[in-house]
Amino acid sequence: MTIKRKGQIGGALLIAAVLATGAGMSFGIDQIRVGGPVQRASQLANDLLVEVAPTTLYVAEPFVGVTRLARAPALLGEMRPLLRTQERAFADNAARFAAAPLPPEVKAAVARDVETGRAFWAEVDSAFLPAVARGDRAAIDASYGRVEAAFVAHQRANADVMSTGTALRAELDARGNRVMQATMIAMAIAGLVLIVLLAGAVFYLLRGVLAPIDATARLMERMAGGDHDQAPKGTERGDEIGTMARSIDVFRAAGQAQARHQAAQQLVVRELAAGLEALAAGTLTHRIATPFADDYEALRRGFNQSLAQLSEIMGTVAQSAQSVSSGATQIRAASDDLAQRTEQQAATLEQTSAAMGEVTTMVTATAQGASDVTGAIGTAQAEAREGARAVERAVAAMDELEASARQIAQITNVIDGIAFQTNLLALNAGVEAARAGDAGRGFAVVATEVRALAQRSADAAKDIKALIAASTEQVGTGVSRVRESGAILARIVEQVTMVRDMVGAIATSAEQQASNLQQVSAAVTGMDRVTQQNAAMVEQATAAARSLSGEAEELQALVSRFTLTTAGARAPVEPRVRPARRAPQLAAAGGRRVAALDDDDWTAF
């Protein structure tokens, strides 16, 4: 059984004993405590003894009052309320004792006492007081005799209650003393039982738990100090102490095995330290010849094999370092050559880019000039068309003038006819005036003046007609010449239109050429930028090749510090030397620089 199980059982027993003792003590104390059953019964007995006398007084005092009424009925008004109060007090006490938990004999005595009291009050209420109220002396005396007999019976019953109550109180006092004695004895026995159980538990803890634990702790201290010879005690026990002892025995066996391993580990550490010191000194030919224990033999073989492989690897590294150094030298030379050619190519592209920029600028200017000429020609064409329209308007005006001249000629012919008719009329008037003699002399003068005026009008009409004829001839000549000018202007407009179309085509072509040249210039600029980047990359590659060459030389220097085995040292590999690249040849051809490169050089790059 485990200590935990034993502790649980012992604890359960102690708890059960404590609970039983506590229950017994609680029961005894509950019996004798204030307010307990014994105390309540004793108090009830005391109350009975104390209250019975007041009950007698309650009946005796009313009896005295009844006696006074029997002698002096006139006191009825004064005594009736007092008697009613005394009767209610009697009834209250009777009800309280009837409900009290009294023994049967006491309850019977109290019942008899209450019954005699009720008979007293029944006689007083039913016969005596009515007789006093009527003033019937004979009835008063007869009823008073019955009241007196009831009072005597009540006194005898009261005496029985007193004697029964006294006996009950004596019995209850004795019972309380017995309960108290029994409670004290039970408490003493429970205390002794608890002391015995606690002593047994302490004894078991000291001998069965603490002593083995102390011995185990001392044994573990010795084991911690390196003493693994003494075997633990109590390994045969089935509790936790036995489990601890068996576990310590396992630790002791492990400690003994560890001690055996320590010697082997020390040998391993010494040999490995010597081998590592040799490795730190650069001697890769060192080997561990002393055999190790079985658990560490694989470590010795692995160490020796590691040194052998490391020696072979270092030999290979030395050879690779030589090859890397040679290759780095070739790369550096090739990078220098490539850098030089790239710089030349970059310079050529830069010049080409500048030339393309100038050509692009010129073609752009030409296209702009052609656009300006196209605009000027368009303006001239518009003005020529406006001149043609003006000529057409002038021809129309000449035609209108010619028509007006014809109309004026017609008007002049009319005026000439009118002048001729006027002249005839004046002539006729003169003839008629001559015929009239002196009477028509004044009329003859007028006819002469009219004739002269008609002649002048005819002359003026002839002159106007001659002028109109000359003007009409000149207007016709002007019209023909204006029409010739309009035809010439029309041909000029056609020629200007043709010139404008040709100049527009030239401007469009120049703009397309400018756009193409800008694209070519952008491509050349991109090639220049890429070439500059390539040059920078070549410089970086050259620097990396130089750094690689220096690191290869440093690696060779580091490898040379190691002492290698004959098998690990291999013949150095001769680097394959490439033929030197030819420098780029620049030739001037039509203002351009051409770099002639060998195909093998580009392949190697």
The pLDDT, as a whole number, for residue 124 is: 92
* Sign of the CA dihedral running 379, 380, 384, 390: positive
Residue pointed to by tokens 């020609």:
377
State the sign of the Cα–Cα–Cα–Cα dihedral 500, 504, 510, 513. negative
8 or 456, higher pLDDT: 456
Give percent above pLDDT 70 in the chain.
82
Q: Are 132 and 83 in contact (CB under 8 A)?
A: no
231: helix, strand or coil: coil
In this model, does residue 598 exceed pLDDT 50? no
The pLDDT assigned to 130 comes to 94
Domains of the chain: 3-196 (1.20.1420), 300-416+458-561 (1.10.287.950)
Most confident option among 134-143, 150-159, 165-174, 475-484: 134-143
Beta bridge partners of 594: 587
- d(CA 30, CA 179) in angstroms, rounded, equals 10
Determine the Cα–Cα distance for residues 498 and 380; give it in Å rounded to an integer: 12
User: E-strand spans in 412-553?
Assistant: none
CA dihedral 340, 345, 346, 351 (to 10 degrees): 130
Average pLDDT of the chain to the nearest whole number: 76
Question: Strand pairing partners for 387?
Answer: none
Write out pLDDT tens, residues 357-395: 787 888 788 877 777 877 887 887 788 778 778 877 877
User: What's the average model confidence in pLDDT over 484-511?
Assistant: 79
What whole-number distance in Å separates Cα of residue 132 and Cα of residue 207? Answer: 98
**482: helix, strand or coil:** helix
Q: H-helix or E-strand containing 235?
A: none
Confidence at residue 605, expressed as pLDDT on a 0 to 100 scale: 36
- Tokens 């009837």 belong to which residue? 98
DSSP calls for 151-166:
HHHHHHHHHHHHHHHH
For the chain, the maximum distance between any two Cα atoms, rounded to a whole number of angstroms, is: 221
DSSP one-letter code for 33? S
Q: Is the pLDDT of residue 173 over 60?
A: yes
Which pLDDT value is given to residue 39?
Answer: 57
Residue/partner pairs of 132-138 with CB below 8 Å, 24 or more apart: 132/69, 132/70, 132/73, 132/76, 133/76, 135/73
DSSP codes, 90-114: HHHHHHHHHHS---HHHHHHHHHHH
Tokens of 144: 């008073």
User: Around 385, how many Cα atoms within 13 Å sit in the side-chain half-sphere?
Assistant: 9
Q: Please report where in the chains the tokens 């573990």 appear, as a residue.
A: 220
Torsion of CA 146, 149, 153, 158, to 10 degrees: 100
Mean pLDDT across 80-85: 91
pLDDT of residue 37: 63
Confidence band, pLDDT 50/70/90 cuts, at residue 27: low
By the 10 Å C-beta count (0-12 exposed, 13-18 middle, 19+ buried), 519 is classed as: exposed
Does the predicted model carry a pTM greater than 0.75? no
Q: Which residue has the tokens 């179309």?
A: 501
The mean pLDDT value for 241-270 works out to 75
CA–chain centroid gap for 514, Å, is 58
DSSP symbols for 285-337: T----S---HHHHHHHHHHHHHHHHHHHHHHHHHHHHHHHHHHHHHHHHHHHH
| CB burial string 365-380: b at 16+ within 10 A, e below | ebbeebbebbeebeee
Higher pLDDT, 254 or 301: 301
CB-based burial of residue 538 (10 Å sphere; 0-12 exposed, 13-18 middle, 19+ buried)?
Answer: buried
Q: Mind listing the pLDDT tens digit for each residue in 37-49?
A: 655 655 555 655 5
Burial class (CB in 10 A: 0-12, 13-18, 19+), 118: middle
Helix, strand and coil content of the chain, in percent to the nearest 5, comes to 85, 0, 10
Length of the chain: 605
Nearest to 129 by CA among 143, 119, 118, 117: 143
Mean pLDDT is highest, among 27-31, 155-159, 578-582, for 155-159
Please list, in sequence order, all residues whose beta carbon lies within 8 angstroms of the beta carbon of residue 90, skipping any fewer than 6 positions away: 55, 58, 59, 117, 121
CA distance 575 to 579: 13
Nearest-angstrom CA–CA distance, 143 and 129: 9
The Cα–Cα gap between 165 and 203 comes to: 57
Strands 592-596 and 585-589: antiparallel
Residue that the structure tokens 């600028």 belong to: 361
- Look at 134 and 295; give whichever has higher pLDDT: 134
The rounded radius of gyration (Å) of the Cα atoms in the chain is 82
